[in-house]
Amino acid sequence: MSIESKTLRRRPVPARNTVWARRFTQLLVKQGIKPNLISMIGMLSAIIAGVLLSATSSGFATRPMWLIAALLIFIRLLANMFDGMVALESGSSSRVGEVFNEVPCRISDIAVMVGAGFALGGNAFLGMTAACIAVLTAYIRAALVVAGAPSDYSGIMAKPQRMWVVIACALYMGFASGSWTFRWGQGGSLGLFAVGLIIIIAGGILTVISRLITGIRLLDSGDQKS
């Protein structure tokens, strides 16, 4: 597969076209940093973030855990951007790299969503449901590509949006005073993270439906033309 086609298959991220991103990519290439290593760093960051999120339910030192988790999730997003940029810049794109791009991403999604579910103010069922929806959105995209449709990263709750919802919730919990947090649900067991997960689930369902409709229409129009 050519570099051009690989570029078209990657998620459109506006930051890729910025000067700082291109220069940092060149620096990584000069230092001999491999794209697969960047992918693994992103996955490790997400796993640690998920552990920290779930640890907030203990009520001990929650403020630094919220903030560190938010930073690690942001690092995960950066890693997901730079692994592809480094692969293209260094000319090291490969089919194995595609696996390293996708599998760590799914593990990262699961780690963050489940961690958010077990976080203070979250809900385990909502977290696991959000994880399933996250994996399903990626599966739908992959299934449509196999069928012949172009990669579709659209939707109101694709991966970046999911991560930013969790980051926003974590930052709020990290900076807000106790009087600015709220509890709801039976016995006040739910909080901001439960709301965030509900938003992710609802948006994820709409994203799945949107991708299915768009992909099926494209495949159907292609069949009719042939």
Terminal-to-terminal C-alpha distance of the chain: 23
Is the predicted pLDDT of residue 1 greater than 60, yes or no?
Answer: no
pLDDT score, position 2? 36
The phi and psi torsions of 95 (rounded to 5 degrees) equal -70, -35
Domain 3-220, CATH class in plain words: mainly alpha
Average pLDDT over residues 144-149: 90
- Max CA-CA distance within the chain? 63
Residues near 12 by beta carbon (within 8 Å), at least 6 away in sequence: 153
Is the predicted pLDDT of residue 7 greater than 50, yes or no?
Answer: no
Average pLDDT over residues 120-141: 96
Structure tokens at 136: 């399903």
How do residues 59-69 score in pLDDT, each as one tens digit? 887 899 999 99
How do residues 85-114 score in pLDDT, each as one tens digit? 898 888 877 777 788 778 999 999 999 999
Contact indicator for 83, 38 with CB cutoff of 8 Å: yes
The helix/strand/coil state of 122 is: coil
Percent of the chain whose pLDDT exceeds 70: 91
Contact indicator for 112, 57 with CB cutoff of 8 Å: no
pLDDT score, position 93? 74
The phi and psi torsions of 215 (rounded to 5 degrees) equal -65, -45
Length of the chain: 226
Which of 11-25, 29-43, 149-163 shows the lowest per-residue confidence on average (mean pLDDT)? 11-25
Structure tokens at 94: 């490969």
How do residues 213-224 score in pLDDT, each as one tens digit? 999 999 988 766
d(CA 57, CA 135): 25
d(CA 205, CA 97): 29
Contact indicator for 76, 101 with CB cutoff of 8 Å: no
More confident residue, 15 or 3: 15
How do residues 44-62 score in pLDDT, each as one tens digit? 999 999 999 999 998 887 8
Q: Where are the domains of the chain?
A: 3-220
pTM: 0.87
Dihedral sign for Cα 4, 26, 39, 172, please: negative
Q: Using 50, 70 and 90 to split pLDDT, how confident is the model at 12? A: low
Structure tokens at 19: 């000067």
